[in-house]
Amino acid sequence: MVFRRRDRRPFTTILTELVYPRGGWWRALQYVVHRLRRLPDPPHRIARGVFAGVFISCTPLFGLHFIGAGVIAWAIRGNILAALIATFFGNPVTLPFIAYGSVELGHWMLGDPSAFGFEEILQSFSGVWTSLYHNVRALFTPAVADWAGLRHFFDEIFLPYLIGGLIPGIVLGMICYYATLPGVAAYQKLRDRQRRERIERAIEKRQKAADKERRRAEKAAAKAGKAEAEDET
């Protein structure tokens, strides 16, 4: 394959880089910002896409963040690629704070004083896949399906997370929207000015070359005319 890596990374390295990217989180953040600024779209559309990506990152729809970000960006006429890039907001560094805060806020909004730590939330999400696997397997084996665990997860984790994540999602999305808007606008103005300056320098260079060629031709013509005059005499 043309695009296959020559040095295949071990599976442990792939998992490690999911938690801590090569070069660190600061370099990864700089790359994301760089990619956002270079998108070929008006600043307000890019900022709307960023809002969509940040907002969906505050929801428990793991595995659907890309799709959700794209749908929201399309609905609000934002840049879809910017939305996909902005889902980077939900990363292993920020996710514990988002999940814990959203679940706590969701329980408070639902009038339930129950509280969960991030470790319990993580265990609940991992337990969901085990329960789903068991119940799907029960459809084809004598095993008995048990949906009690999934109902408990939905009532105690997923629903509070979903409801509680709306407010942080909107607030953080708006903050990132207003932070992105002037930054992208300033970068695009700078890029346009640099492009105009390059074009002007290229035109000026071609003009100088043309003037030089014209002077050389005039000098050659004058020299030839002088030689003709000397021959006539």
- Residue 193, C-beta contacts closer than 8 angstroms, at least 6 positions apart: none
pLDDT digits (tens, 9 = 90+) for 139-174: 777 777 666 667 778 888 889 999 999 999 999 999
If one compares 52 and 62, the residue with the highest pLDDT of the two is 52
Residue 127 and residue 148 in contact, taking contact as beta carbons nearer than 8 Å: no
Domain ranges of the chain: 91-164
**Can you give the pLDDT at residue 197?**
85
If one compares 143 and 43, the residue with the highest pLDDT of the two is 43
Lowest mean pLDDT among 75-89, 146-160, 202-216: 146-160
- Rounded Cα–Cα distance for residues 184 and 37 (Å): 5
